[in-house]
Structure 1
């Protein structure tokens, strides 16, 4: 059977606390609402929380796939807008490259029913983050207007570029306080990267700080579902529209087999 081209998007950040998981979940759901067939992989293999964030009751996790206790189809939870959610096990041991590759290889079970795979990576620059970001077709870096977030986002981009040859990144400014803050953050990051790196840094947009998003989090719901007219939900939908406009891969590099090969 011919491989189904899939858009693989790694959502990552240089540090924790910038809202990366909320970006991953709301982007995945908003894309599904636009008609894409979406899977959401919780790749934070130490602090897994996507199933909790969406109020899902997961009986199995990716750790069970690693251990051979079940197959991927048994792990998948159906989330809002019919997205396929693959939960991870929180507090697990360091995952090997072979296990990471095995998880991606397991996606062949559901690959024919997918258009987009959104990967919520861990924060920072550990090996699992690097592995997923290098293998993905698109890398989305979430950043906030605070010095540590900017510095760590730059460090992540620098590492991925200089050590692994990643040359294209998308920047999303999160929890912005004014309409000007997003473009300001992008220009700040652009200035840092242009100084010493040969990378393309694209501005994907900004998501404003929103109390309704925090209210949705407390209800274990995505804000695009719970408060679809809130300012953060509207922003997520605009960002999803831009991602929807990215062409689906039409080359072998868009297939999960290539993702597996790169991850290995």
Structure 2
């Protein structure tokens, strides 16, 4: 495991020694709850930190915000305090294992997705400082197909869609893809507005074959009914260590770094790192993210 992490870190640093360039925003979604989205988000963030990246997670789940719980930290302020002007970005940021930054969302997440123009200058000034604080901003979106979720997904640079082999999870993942493909067509006047690219991760699989079959079912449905495409980013094996880590309120990366599930996540992090080193579209930074969000 240590050899693998070292090799991934060296590869990332060799290709991009100073991690220069605009901050990139990646959104993790699932279409439904209960598929392990938050656990995956926290652990891939920690794997990316091991590769030399600075990472901050924005907890985007309105009703069940639990990134802080998964990391064993207690935030005192949320994004709502930033939007109201009471606190700065530095004051609401809390730090977890390995220096992982966490932006507690609360009800402020919905306010950010529907931000009032009067508050825009203050928000841009504060969120703009994220450029100097992190290399990657990961949004742990809420479950479901609400506008807040889809707005964040469409504004992000990359999307990771987490699902499991269960038929209900697969159906909900398809529903999310359908919402993304039909709700907002491309803007012909914007040359940078390209088709949304979705990277799929299949969680809780017994073997590789299960993951590939699950992805093929989803891919065939997307191709046939949505006339689109998705990419298989990777899979995570079913592992009892995941449940133990959750019960202890400790990330898998810290509690069981040699577990089969975390090794899968490290491998996926290596692929994600490659995405950021050769992105499908130019990173526009936090201002670009807000611009896309406001356009929605």
Q: Same fold (TM over 0.5)?
A: yes
| Structure 2: runs of 5+ lacking an equivalent | 1-19, 186-194
Match of 1:262 in 2: 292
Q: Residues 165-180 of structure 1: matches in 2 within 5 Å?
A: 165=185, 166-180=195-209
Q: Is 1:107 equivalent to 2:137 in the alignment?
A: no
Q: Which of the numbers 151, 167, 170 marks the counterpart of 1:131?
A: 151
Residues 104 and 256 of structure 1 are in contact (CA less than 8 Å); yes or no, is this contact kept in structure 2? no
Residues 46 and 92 of structure 1 are in contact (CA less than 8 Å); yes or no, is this contact kept in structure 2? no
Distance 1:146 1:246, change over 3 A: same
Match of 2:160 in 1: 140
Output the TM-score relative to the length of structure 1.
Answer: 0.91
CA distance in structure 2 between the partners assigned to 1:147 and 1:35 by the alignment: 37
Give the C-alpha shift of residue 99 in structure 1: 6.3
Local SS of the residue matching 1:194? helix
Give the C-alpha shift of residue 67 in structure 1: 2.4
CA distance in structure 1 between the partners assigned to 2:287 and 2:229 by the alignment: 25
Distance 1:233 1:250, change over 3 A: closer
Q: Which of the numbers 167, 179, 192 marks the counterpart of 1:159?
A: 179
CA distance in structure 1 between the partners assigned to 2:239 and 2:116 by the alignment: 38
Output the TM-score relative to the length of structure 2.
Answer: 0.82
Give the C-alpha shift of residue 244 in structure 1: 1.0
Distance 1:92 1:112, change over 3 A: closer
Give the C-alpha shift of residue 18 in structure 1: 0.5
Give the C-alpha shift of residue 135 in structure 1: 0.1
The superposition leaves residues 99-146 of structure 1 with CA deviations (integer Å, 9 ceiling, x where unpaired) of: 699597332122123211111000111011011000001011000111
Match of 1:46 in 2: 63
Local SS of the residue matching 1:200? coil
Give the C-alpha shift of residue 253 in structure 1: 4.5
Match of 2:142 in 1: 122
Give the C-alpha shift of residue 94 in structure 1: 5.3
Distance 1:203 1:61, change over 3 A: same
**Structure with greater Cα Rg:** 2
CA distance in structure 1 between the partners assigned to 2:255 and 2:123 by the alignment: 31
Give the C-alpha shift of residue 179 in structure 1: 2.5
Q: Which of the numbers 225, 247, 259 marks the counterpart of 1:218?
A: 247
Match of 1:234 in 2: 263
Match of 2:52 in 1: 35
| Structure 1: runs of 5+ lacking an equivalent | none
Residues 95 and 101 of structure 2 are in contact (CA less than 8 Å); yes or no, is this contact kept in structure 1? yes
Match of 2:219 in 1: 190
Distance 1:36 1:150, change over 3 A: same
CA distance in structure 1 between the partners assigned to 2:205 and 2:280 by the alignment: 35
Residues 80 and 109 of structure 2 are in contact (CA less than 8 Å); yes or no, is this contact kept in structure 1? no
CA distance in structure 1 between the partners assigned to 2:282 and 2:138 by the alignment: 19
Cα RMSD over matched residues? Answer: 2.3
Local SS of the residue matching 2:227? coil
